[in-house]
Amino acid sequence: MDDERVKRRGPKEMPSGGEWIRSPYDPEVRYGRKRGWSWVGYKLHITEVSDPDQEHFITQVETAPAIEQDHLALAEIQQKLELKDLLPDQQLVDAGYMSAKRIIESRDDHQIELIGPVHNDPSWQARDPNAYDASRFDIDWDQQVAICPQGQTSQDWRISKDAVGESVVQIIFASQTCADCSQRSLCTKAKKSGRSMTLRYPSERHEMLQVARQHQQTDEFKAVYAKRCGVEGTFSQMIRNTGLRQTRYISMAKTHLQHVACAAATNILRLVHWLNDVPFAETRTSRFAALAPAS
């Protein structure tokens, strides 16, 4: 309102996405988007047993706002599992839950080995096998300097925050140092400035990220992580049997109760199958994949 007149808000006057009311019926629902899918409602996080020798019962259900990033729910999930004495030795999660910070917190706070794919280095140097990505530099965290593959020392070391408030360090090399380097084209595309890198801070987070990136390329990681694909089948089963995607109640608290009821019903069904020695279903082959010639 301006002088008792209604007017359209400008872009700078608009509230954040988390404050927008998306439904006149439920003021708590929010607009969510993931992998090309969009919806108005909530997010559901499910934890289940993945041991092949045990029935795959659901052990934890967490309902969250649709706009909330997945990794923000991880601490709450682990705390509730601990209260129920159901903490796993290994927890398999997708990339949305993974970061160096979450790996370290899971290990230190709950003695959990968090397993999942971390995001790869997005820099062009990391995509070029001949270029100098961050892993090619020697980082002296105590002296706060980096040494490039050509033996040159960085000029500046700046500790700051990234877009989501995580601690990072920006390392900058002098423009003259890089200008005279014979390997400049493999290191930076900057025309006037020198090479710069942004790394996780403190050093434990950066080093943990490097270890995780290397480990996820191994056959050992792929064999362990393959067990996580079962949770997609759990979502499918709950959607088909309980209509999981349709919220029947208003407010997140009541929606969470619905999610718990859906999980309980799924556990009862699985218990009946377990008592009757019904084997796990095999992964279905799509009709298109079935056309592939046998190897």
The model's pLDDT over 111-136, given as tens digits with 9 standing for 90+, comes to 999 999 999 999 999 999 999 999 99
288 pLDDT more than 60: yes
pLDDT of residue 33: 86
The proportion of the chain whose per-residue pLDDT surpasses 70, expressed as a percent, equals: 99
d(CA 163, CA 15): 18
- Residue 11: its pLDDT value, please? 81
Its sign, for the CA torsion 212, 216, 221, 227, is positive
Question: Helix (H) and strand (E) counts for the chain?
Answer: 8, 10
Q: Are 50 and 82 within 8 A, CB to CB?
A: no
Supply the pLDDT for residue 2: 56
Bridge partners, 37 (sequence order): 34
Is the pLDDT score of 295 beyond 70? no
With 80 as the cut, is the pLDDT of residue 282 above it? Answer: no
> How many CA atoms within 13 Å lie on the side-chain side of 85?
0
**49 pLDDT above the threshold of 70:** yes
In what helix (H) or strand (E) does residue 59 lie, and over which residues does it extend? strand 58-65
DSSP 8-state code for residue 8: P
7 against 150, higher pLDDT: 150
Determine the distance from the C-alpha atom of residue 122 to the mean position of all C-alpha atoms in its chain, rounded to a whole number: 15
Task: Say what the pTM is.
Answer: 0.85
Q: What is the CA radius of gyration of the chain?
A: 24
Residue type, 172: I
Over residues 225-244, the pLDDT tens digits come to: 998 988 888 999 999 999 99
Q: Taking a C-beta distance cutoff of 8 angstroms, is the pair 173, 196 a contact? A: yes
For 143-182, write each residue's pLDDT tens digit: 999 999 999 999 999 999 988 788 999 999 999 999 989 9
Strand partners, 161: 167
Tell me what pLDDT residue 107 has: 97
Residue 113 contacts by C-beta under 8 Å, 6 or more apart in sequence? 89, 90, 91, 106, 107
**CB half-sphere exposure, 165, CA atoms < 13 A:** 1
pLDDT on residue 215: 95
Mean pLDDT of all residues belonging to the chain: 91
Please name the residues in contact with 25: beta carbons below 8 A apart, sequence gap of 6 or more: 250
Q: Are 173 and 195 in contact (CB under 8 A)?
A: yes
Residue 197 pLDDT exceeds 70:
yes
| pLDDT at residue 196, rounded to an integer | 95
Per-residue tokens: 195: 């090479």
